[in-house]
Amino acid sequence: MDMVNKIMAWESGELDDKATLEFFSELVKNGQAWSLQGMYGRFATSLIDAGYLDKEGNILKDVE
């Protein structure tokens, strides 16, 4: 799935928790989390603050 389709899937609520975590990992790694609409950066920051991702976008723990 390309990035545009992933964005559309996330915005429409079609991604499960694991796919969402992987999507935001990719966004943080490539820097897009900080250049897209503000909700992406805020959500990425919440995943980092909760310990799911590190600041480089690596997944630290799985969602349950």
Give pLDDT tens digits along the chain (64 positions).
799 999 999 999 999 999 999 999 999 999 999 999 999 999 999 999 999 999 999 999 998 7
pTM higher than 0.85: yes
25 vs 64: CA distance, rounded Å:
16
Cβ contact 52:46 at 8 Å: no
